[in-house]
Structure formats: C-alpha cells, structure tokens
Structure 1
Amino acid sequence: MSTERLEFFDAAAVLFDLDGVITPTAEVHMRAWSRMFTRLFDDRGVRPPYTDADYFLHLDGRPRYDGVDSLLRDRGIDVPWGDPSDSDDADTVCGIGNRKNAFFSSLLAAEGIAPYPGSLAVLDRLGSLGIPAAIVSSSKNAVPVLAAAHLADRFPVIVDGVVAQDEGLPGKPRPYIFLAGASRLHVDPANAVVVEDAVSGVAAGAAGGFGLVVGVDRGVGSAALRDAGAHVVVGDLADLLAAEKGASL
C-alpha cells in the first residue's frame, strides 16, 4: 500500500472526475435524474418505478444521452434518439436528456455548490508539489459547476461532455476522454493517476493503462470499484493525505 500512496503524489499528473470526486454534484445529478424519471415513468405508467439503483446501474458516469438510452431500454421503452438540439419536451432520448439537464441547472442555480473539503486539500497539496491536474468528466456541465465552486483556475485542462461531443470521443467506460486529458497534459498515462467515483469511470481509467486508478466510494461500494479496476479505494480524498503521512488507508 505504501508504494501506491507514493505513486499518487509522485505522479506526473492527476486526472479527476468532477461529480462525486471534486464536488458533491453527483447528489444534485441524482436528484435531477430522480425527479425527471419519476415524472416520466409516472406519466407513462412504467413499472418498476425509478430508484437510486437505476442511477448507479445506468446513469452514473455515463454520457447523458447514453444513460437515458440505457435506462429506457431496460424498461422496454423505445423512443427515437433525436438530436442534441431537441427541446426538453421532445419525446426523444436527447429531449429527455435535455429535460434532466434543465432540472439540474435549476437545482445548481438555487443551491450553488462547494467542493469536498478533502478534495480541496488534495488539490492544494498537488499545487504545492507542482503536479498538474485535469478534469475529465462525462458531464456537459463541468465548466459551470467549476465556476460555481470557484475552482476553474485549478485545472489547466478540462475534457468534458462538450469536448467529447465536439471531438467524437466515446464516453466512459471506454478510456478515450481520459487519454485525451493525458495527451493535453503531455503525460504518459502510465505516469498519471485517475480518480473516479463511478464504476464506468474506474473501468475507463483501468482500460487506459493509467499507472494508478483511485476509486472514491461515495455509495457505489468498494468491491464494485475494485472489481472495475481500482488499485486503491478511499472514502474521501483526505485519506490520501493521511496515507502520505504514513497512516493506513
């Protein structure tokens, strides 16, 4: 375990997922998905009803439209894919995804967001060591979330859902957006760290050949993160600072 802890703070760069890793926006996303799908399923008489298990199985860490498509297929609902420009009342995968984003934006505007204290402390430590950090997120809301959390200047590289769409990068669990982040930071993935709280994101980091994949257990479960390829699982990023000082993870 000591080697793994040294690898984190000796890395050439650290690539962080955003929601659930740097900021508790995963909770906001969960509530937005729940409100949207509960209403949608009620209107359609779909059973079983939406639960948090659906979030972890179909939505967590995935590009928004891919998640919508996965959950609709699970419930036997067939709607056209549509186009990202669809209005949020359109009966398409994209329209439904855009409807969820409207819920999310409303919650973010009303409540704001603050980073996890432990994550902020790790960013401070990386900054003191001169180790660059990137955000690699499936979300198309990464930039406004970072702005709301006053963290935009912490990350010289942001590869998010907008970048992925513009550049045709397949989403997690495939590794391409993490590899794009490493390329923009001019580092070899073998010398870089991925930090993720989603099974799909951990799997993407492992598939990309990153030197260390850290899973952050915000509810999905340590075993699931390890099974997906995490070398280390922590409950909070502050655990990494304690480990650097010699404490056990």
Structure 2
Amino acid sequence: MIIKAVLFDLDGVITDTAEYHYVAWKQLAAQLGIEIDEAFNEQLKGVSRMESLERILRHGNRANDLSAEEKIALATQKNNEYVKLLVNVSPKDVYPGIRELLLELRAADVRTVIASASKNAPQILNSLALTDLFDYIVNPDEVAHGKPAPDIFLRGAEAVGVNPAFCVGIEDAQAGVEAIKSAKMVAVGIGEEHVLKPSGTDVVLPSTGSLSWSFLQTLGE
C-alpha cells in the first residue's frame, strides 16, 4: 500500500479542546437540570454537536421535552460558550510530534486532511498556526451522516483526489475509528488500547509523540 493521504481528527489528535467542550456542555446540562461528569463526557467525543445534545437529553430523561427549534438554540448556545473558551488556544497547544509529522508529509507530497465533527476546526487550526499544513478541512455540513458513519473520511479523501484504499486515518475516539474502518482506510488510534482496539483500529499508540512519516510507512508494508 502506498500512502497518498493522511486524515486527522482534531480534538485529541492535533490538540486537546475536549476540556473546553466538557465545560460548555456541563454548563448547558446544568441549565437543563441534568448532571454530567467526565466519564459521561467520553461518550460525546467524536460525535456531532446535535448528537451530543441528544445524548445529554437522553441521559437526563428529557429526550422528548424539547422541540427541534429549542434543541438548535441550545446547541448554538453551547457552541457560543465553547468559542469563547477557544481564545486560550495557541501554537503551544499542538500535540507532540504533530507539526513535525505534517511537515514530513508535506515534504513527501502526501495529502493532509482534517476530518473532524467540529465546525470550529478552521478557527482552531488558525490559532494553532497549522492551517497552511493542511490541504483540506472537511466541513461537517458537507456530509449526510456523522461518525461512526464513514462519510466525513470519504469526503476528505474525495476532496484531495485520493482513493480511500491509499489513506490512513488518525483518531482518538471509538466512533472515529469505526468511521475510518467503514471507509476502508487504515486506522491509527491514539490513546488506550483496551478502549480503541475493539473498534477495529489497526494500531494503537499511547500518544502522538510516537507518530512519524517513517512509522506510517510501515503500515503500508
């Protein structure tokens, strides 16, 4: 296998804004009389904003209490709070090894794509000073179904003109790994093996510091 494109999740792979998501969701949930903790928050990683809200409402037995318009308003409110917190993001928050890997991929003429459920990806990448190292950022609105469906990864491959069979996806969440495998790509998981291996990831690394172009090339052998 010749690797022609690498598709990255954002939160938990490029940087960590998960804590900001958690703070914003916890605040919104409390407003609705629902209590969530960090363990529950793990269920929200890698899924869309609206699906995250639905999971919180089901958790609080309020799934049928709100209209579609009210849910959209709440999701917008959460995002506004999250965006306020993003002012704290800077280049120092890029995960270990990521900038170096992106430079290696650029030198090797390998396409790089962000395949994240976050609609704030462009803003975050700009704050991290990484925008110029990506060929394409998939807008979640471009696809019909969020992770664990493969749509966002397939769209990313299509956008850079690469067959999914020649792509590697990098994820830290179960839903993301399932999406990569459904897209028929090689999946690299970042995190704990017992969490990610059941989702079908091909290899699990404890941190992004272990990522390199030479390592990714071994996956194609």
TM-score, structure 1 as length reference: 0.79
Give yes or no for the alignment of 1:31 onto 2:2. Answer: no
Residues 1-249 of structure 1 mapped to structure 2, 5 A cutoff: 10-37=2-29, 39-41=30-32, 44=33, 46=34, 49-57=35-43, 59-77=44-62, 78-83=64-69, 92-109=70-87, 111-113=88-90, 114-164=93-143, 169-210=144-185, 212-217=186-191, 221-241=192-212, 244=215
Superimposed CA distance per residue, residues 181-232 of structure 1 (whole angstroms, 9 cap, x where no aligned partner) = 111111111110000111111110011111x100111xxx321211111111
Q: Which runs of 5+ in 1 are unaligned?
A: 1-6, 84-91
Select between 173-182 and 93-102 the one with higher mean Cα deviation: 93-102
Structure number with higher relative contact order (C-alpha < 8 Å, ≥ 6 residues apart): 2
Select between 68-77 and 173-182 the one with higher mean Cα deviation: 68-77
Identity of aligned residues (%): 33
Structure 1 segments (4+ residues) deviating >6 Å:
none
TM-score, structure 2 as length reference: 0.89
Q: Secondary structure at the match of 1:117?
A: coil
Residues 121 and 31 of structure 1, relative CA distance in 2, 3 Å threshold: farther
Q: Which amino acid aligns with 1:106?
A: K
Using the alignment, how far apart are the partners of 2:177 and 2:215 within structure 1? 22
Deviation of the 1:81 alpha carbon: 4.6
Using the alignment, how far apart are the partners of 1:81 and 1:62 within structure 2? 21
Q: Which amino acid aligns with 1:121?
A: E
Deviation of the 1:243 alpha carbon: 6.8
Q: In the comparison of the two structures, how many residue pairs are matched? A: 215
Residues 71 and 193 of structure 1, relative CA distance in 2, 3 Å threshold: same
Give the conservation status (yes or no) of the 8 Å contact 2:24–2:82. Answer: yes
Q: Which amino acid aligns with 1:214?
A: V
- RMSD between superposed Cα atoms in Å: 2.2
Q: Which runs of 5+ in 2 are unaligned?
A: 217-221
Using the alignment, how far apart are the partners of 1:242 and 1:188 within structure 2? 19
Superimposed CA distance per residue, residues 162-196 of structure 1 (whole angstroms, 9 cap, x where no aligned partner) = 433xxxx2100000111011111111111100001
Deviation of the 1:138 alpha carbon: 0.6
Using the alignment, how far apart are the partners of 1:25 and 1:62 within structure 2? 14
Using the alignment, how far apart are the partners of 1:70 and 1:225 within structure 2? 21
Deviation of the 1:155 alpha carbon: 1.2
Superimposed CA distance per residue, residues 41-95 of structure 1 (whole angstroms, 9 cap, x where no aligned partner) = 4xx3x4xx211121112x1111100111122112210233524xxxxxxxx2222
Using the alignment, how far apart are the partners of 2:213 and 2:133 within structure 1? 22
